[in-house]
Amino acid sequence: MIQFENIVKRFRRHQVLKGINLTIERGHRVALVGSNGAGKTTLIRCLLGEYICEGKVLVDGMNPRQARREVLSKVGFVPQLPPPLHMPVGQLIRFSATLCDTDPARMVSVAGKLGFDAERFHNQPFVKLSGGQKQKMLIAIALGRESELLVMDEPAANLDPEARHIFFELLAEKKDHAAMLISSHRLDEVATLVNRVIEMDQGEVVLDDRVADLVELSSRLYCRIRLLQPEAAFAKAIGEWGFKDADSGLVWEGAIAGPDRLRFLGLLSRYAALLSGMEISEDEDLESDLQRESSISVV
Amino acid sequence: MKYLWLAAYTDIIESLRARWFMVYAMVFGGLVVILFAFGLAESRIMGFTGLSRLLITYIQLSMAMLPIFVLITTVRSVAGDREAGVFEYLLSLPITLSAWFWGRVFGRFFVVFLPVFLAMLGATAWGTVKGVEVPWNLLFYYSGLLMALAWCFLGIGMLISTLARSADVAQGAAFVVWLTLLLFLDLILLGVLIQEHLPPETAVAIALANPMQVFRTATMMLFDPQLVLLGPTAYVILDNFGQLGYIAYAIGYPIVLGTACAGLGFLMFKRSDLP
């Protein structure tokens, strides 16, 4: 689907991309990782036809610079930093939907699934939304249309755990017929989302590897965490993941999105000394167990 | 075409909500209010009184302010949008570069011309309410001249925005362009050039190439048809163009210059990195 053939990009004398050769097919979910200045954003901009570069960039055999409408109508793009647009949310949706020949209601619906009521914020300038709301809006615009290539720069960074789960579910719907290019500084942020990792360093591809594709994007893990003693900092941190206190701050229960497991374990590792027990399972038994216990506690 | 108007409409909505537009609209609206408040509509100069007098003063002030306002707001918002990542996002949507660029030009033209025109229209409406005679020919003529001037500097602004890679550089360049044109507006400077053995034809050519001077001369023409205020240069203008010819030139030339600058800007925009 995407071909980069010997891509070289220079800014004056500084060579930012040094002969990139890559092929990405439909169904590939690629983590594009590397430190600042590695060339990730430049490569993405070449792919979107925003930068002139040496070599060939082809999307389904078309040059994104010359066949902008044909190529970009297949591409859903979520930038890392939301643009400071003054136009109201409703106007942004109408503008994007008209350009993408899609129904604005689809974008509104995706935003709703992510927990952002676009109708309520219809007249609110985009720039005045919170970081999370902006991110949800941009994801809704990228996913609420017929996109075959998703290009996302740290797309889930500002999302709450529930929105992340929905976001992963939406990606799962597209995973077989779309290619995804997810850029991140850190592999652990995106590792479980992808089946291929491309690492860049100083304008070159230094690693291109397929990874085990065992985690279902739409899966959920049900968790019960036991602590040695209640801890306010832990309560605050786990509360942000939507976990509920089941026993005076000693037992915490909740669910996380499957692809979020690494991030979640990263959080737990910070409180390792506090842990006395932990159950994590995709098994629905634990879920019904948790639900039963919570209904008993309500009674 | 549909996408061009969509881009224009989006730019208008963006601009109407931006702070620069508030300031811009307040300056031109406020100017008319001040002119009324100071009783300019009642004063008399060179036989002109009422709304004609007010419009002449307004147009003279606009000549000094409109170009710099249009230049600075255009380059700040266009180059600023590029710096802030607005281009990166909006140009990732499937819109052709021509629809995007010209849509912005038309949208911006509407936004920069509207407050100036509305202020003039407001003055006319107020004059009508007060029972003052409305100089319709002056109103139409000045509207045409203002439109041409706004378009000209918008085109120059778009060219500068395309060439400069940052908002600060663009703003500096816009200021230098305005200052240069302002400098050659100075008849004393042209007089010195002639004194230094510059052929008078060159001095006249400089004056005719400077859109601000063209505008200035054209506005003079209505209350001073023989261009007595201009001195000997008037002979060159009136002999070569005639009064009607010069009016046509004063409207046509800035439009052509603005279109050429915007066209050149578009060519460079198409061939360079977008964000």
CB-side neighbour CA atoms (13 Å) of B14: 23
Report CA torsion sign: B90, B96, B101, B103.
negative
CA dihedral B223, B225, B228, B231 (to 10 degrees): 120
List chain A residues with CB under 8 Å of B6: 95, 98-99
| Rounded Cα gap, residues B17 and A125, in angstroms | 9
Residue in A closest to B86 by C-alpha: A83
- Helix, strand, coil shares, percent, chain A, to 5: 35, 30, 35
Q: Does A88 touch chain B (CB under 8 A)?
A: yes
Rg (CA), chain A: 21
Res A218: pLDDT? 73
Residue contact A91–B93, C-beta within 8 A: no
Residue A196 or B222, more confident: A196
- Averaged pLDDT score across all residues of chain A: 86
> In the 8-state DSSP scheme, what is residue A30?
E
Res B233: pLDDT? 65
Res A298: pLDDT? 42
Task: Please give the full DSSP string across A253-269, using - where no structure is assigned.
Answer: EEEEEGGGHHHHHHHHH
Residue among B22, B78, B93 with most chain A CBs within 10 A, to mutate: B93
- Give the number of other CB atoms < 10 A from CB of residue B195: 8
Residue B33 or B178, more confident: B178
> Residues of chain B whose C-beta is under 8 A from some C-beta in A?
2-3, 6, 10, 13-14, 17-18, 84-97, 271-275
Residue in B closest to A124 by C-alpha: B17
Q: In what order do the strands lie in the sheet with A54-59?
A: A14-24, A2-11, A54-59
Residue in A closest to B87 by C-alpha: A83
pLDDT digits (tens, 9 = 90+) for B178-203: 988 888 776 666 667 767 777 777 77
CB-side neighbour CA atoms (13 Å) of A27: 3
pLDDT digits (tens, 9 = 90+) for B42-92: 555 555 556 677 777 777 788 878 899 899 888 887 888 888 888 889 999
Amino acid letter, residue B176: V
| Rounded Cα gap, residues A193 and A167, in angstroms | 11
Closest-CA distance, B56 to chain A, in angstroms, reads 36
pLDDT digits (tens, 9 = 90+) for A73-86: 999 999 888 898 88
| Rounded Cα gap, residues A47 and A63, in angstroms | 9
Secondary element (H or E) of residue B188: helix B187-195
List chain B residues with CB under 8 Å of A75: 92, 94
Task: Please give the full DSSP string across A227-290, using - where no structure is assigned.
Answer: ESS--HHHHHHHHTTT-EESSTTSEEEEEEEGGGHHHHHHHHHTTGGGEEEEEEES-HHHHHHH
Residue among A7, A42, A73, A87 with most chain B CBs within 10 A, to mutate: A87
Residue contact B91–A85, C-beta within 8 A: no
pLDDT at A291 over 70: no
pLDDT at B275 over 50: yes
Longest dimension (CA), chain B: 59
Q: Does A46 touch chain B (CB under 8 A)?
A: no
> In the 8-state DSSP scheme, what is residue A75?
E
Res B229: pLDDT? 67
Residue contact A81–B14, C-beta within 8 A: no
| Rounded Cα gap, residues A219 and A43, in angstroms | 31
Residue contact A77–B85, C-beta within 8 A: no
Q: Does A271 touch chain B (CB under 8 A)?
A: no
Res A297: pLDDT? 47
